[in-house]
Amino acid sequence: MASHGSPSPDSCTSTALAAAPSATAAPAPASQPASKPAPPSGPTTGACGFTPLEDRTYSTWVGLPPDPKKAQTHGKAAVVLQTNRGDIPLVLDKAGAPCTVQSFLFLIRQKLYDGTLAMANGGPDTNGSQFFLVYEGSRLRPDYTVFGQVTEEGMQVLDQIAAGGIDPGTEGTPEDGAPALTTVIERAKRTGVGATR
């Protein structure tokens, strides 16, 4: 999908939220019938310039987010990832990555993350709906956008998940991989706590 947000730092703390999110067409206006219109096929023209991926083999298309004329660069947005292991509250930074936050919140409204845990970055300009939570000290390449933090309450849940170890998969290393404990995001939602406009 689109690459947006500002360049990210190349290191972060144990509470960073990093991603390569972008989204996928604005929801139908309230006056539209129940059927959804076809998502726009080209990039948006607002401040963020969201662009759909050409290859959607590994993604779920829910459209592109609304693209404001001016990016919302003030305040924070509170989100909670309700997982089978416990709730993971997040605080998203609109000032640090306004377009990434705009996209992430859109994807939450579209219920894209309900039931999934996605992690990856396929290279330049391939940012999609995938994101990951950074646990402990990690160095991130500059092509990742840090767009929020996991709260202390959320870190307690991540500590439990991390204690179960990792599954490096067939191409992974012992230091990197998905959680060995099955972890499912059952629902992702925006909350009013800690959110500002």
Q: Residue ranges per domain, the chain? A: 11-26+41-191
DSSP conformation letters of the chain: ----SPPPPSEE-TTEEEE-B----PPPPTTS-SSPPPPPSS---SSS-----S--TTS----PPP--SS---SSEEEEEEEETTEEEEEEEETTT-HHHHHHHHHHHHTTTTTT-------STT--BS-EEE--SSEE--TTSEEEEEE-HHHHHHHHHHHHT-EE-TTT-BTTB-EESS---EEEEEEESTT---
Residue 125's pLDDT band (boundaries 50, 70, 90)? low
- Give me the architecture of the 11-26+41-191 domain, per CATH: Beta Barrel (2.40)
Q: Is the pTM of this model over 0.85?
A: no
The string of pLDDT tens digits covering residues 39-61 is 556 788 999 998 887 777 767 78
Res. 152: pLDDT tops 60:
yes
